[in-house]
Amino acid sequence: MSHQQLDAASALTALAEDETLFRDSVFEFANREIRPRVRDMDELGKIPRDLIDQLFALGVMGIEVPESYGGGGATFFHSVLAVEALSRVDPSIGVLVDVQNTLVINALVRWGSDDLKRRYLPKLAANTIGAYCLSEAGSGSDAFALTTRATQVGDDFHLTGRKLWITNGNEADLFIVFANLKPEAGYRGITAFLVERGAPGFTVGKKEDKLGIRASSTCELLFEDCAVPKSSVLGEVGKGYKVAIETLNEGRIGIGAQMVGLAQGALDYTIKYVKERKQFGKTIADFQGVQFQIARMATDVETSRLLVYNAARLRDARKPFLTEAAMCKLVSSEAAERVTSLAVNLYGGYGFVKDYPVEKLYRDAKIGQIYEGTSNMQLMTIAKQVMG
């Protein structure tokens, strides 16, 4: 790790003592370095590597990695704050950082052996992007209907199957892959494996052409008798379902943060616009009807933020947070769609063209109700928990 990266990690640790200062410093970076590139990244469908390198130098790619491994040694709540701040400018960058921290690093810190932590945590803090590979063509909401198979061959496991909709697929060099070692045992045969890019039999397939968060890569992964050493099992053999469920519960809070940041960004743009746009001899911000819509947008954003922050703090306090995680994702994703839709309406015809930023945020918002558990799945979780 370079001196620059060590300095960034130290600065991150210092900032973490003041949560507001931490969030604002990440937003200032995003405003300065990311905002000028948002439209080009959306149109090209790609995050430039030099920008990714800046994220590593800033320290936001290894927030919860212990300082002894070169990371920030901060909390889950700080990861949530970083995702929110980045998503206020570009939700594509927000989800890149979210998956890195709340899914990949989180799973490795919790479930990795000492050897796996030594091998991978310094890299994830310094320059290596991770991806979380669970979804398949027939395995979405039914997360454990996996057809990817693992077979034991000597001291190795061989993986064969196909993963779909994998975030960070193009950029990642480390993949957490879920496969079933004993299909006859159902979900109790599922095991999590760490696979490096370039492993024989492993190929990153096509990148999806998406409605929103277009700069974030979403890819197909192909495994054809891909050999993985026994030492690369994450957690225990046959306990991959536990790794998946518990990590995704935390990941939903991260998506909630992404949606809060996205909605706040749309609100920021809209307030500025209505104060400038004139009709009938005065700014449209002077009309009570517009003021009421802004008030609803602001209330949606703050309600969502409080739910996300509450779930994150419960998680850090090691208290039950399953219901709160489902609630924050449900509410924030639906609020983001409402807020961005109102933003487009208040911009009028300008809101419908790509020259103005709310059109992109409207497209970006839709995925919040789909990935890491659809809104219907969150409702099922909430109902099950509150009804006992």
- What positions carry a catalytic annotation? 372
Nearest to 108, CA basis, from 140, 77, 130: 130
Strands 156-167 and 202-207: unpaired
What angle (nearest 5°) sits at the alpha carbon of residue 261, between those of residues 265 and 369?
A: 110
User: What is the phi/psi pair of residue 253, to 5°?
Assistant: -65, -40
Q: Give helix 76-87 / helix 91-98 axis angle, nearest 10°.
A: 160
CA angle 374, 315, 99 (to 5 degrees): 50
Q: How far apart are CA 250 and CA 76, in angstroms?
A: 9
CA distance 347 to 277: 9
CA distance 147 to 179: 7
How far is CA 220 from its chain centroid?
18
Q: What is the C-alpha to C-alpha distance for residues 368 and 364, in angstroms, rounded to an integer?
A: 8
Q: Exposure of 169 by Cβ count < 10 A (0-12 exposed, 13-18 middle, 19+ buried)?
A: buried
3-class state of residue 63 by DSSP: coil
89 CB contacts (<8 Å, ≥6 apart)? 27, 30, 31, 34, 35, 38, 261, 265
Q: Which are the contacts of 107, defined by CB distance < 8 A and separation ≥ 6?
A: 132, 176, 192, 234, 243, 247
Residue 286 backbone phi and psi in degrees, to 5: -80, -10
Give the number of C-alpha atoms closer than 13 A to the C-alpha of residue 40, restricted to the C-beta side.
7
Residue 240 C-alpha from the chain's centroid: 20
Q: Is 131 exposed, middle or buried (0-12, 13-18, 19+ CB in 10 A)?
A: buried
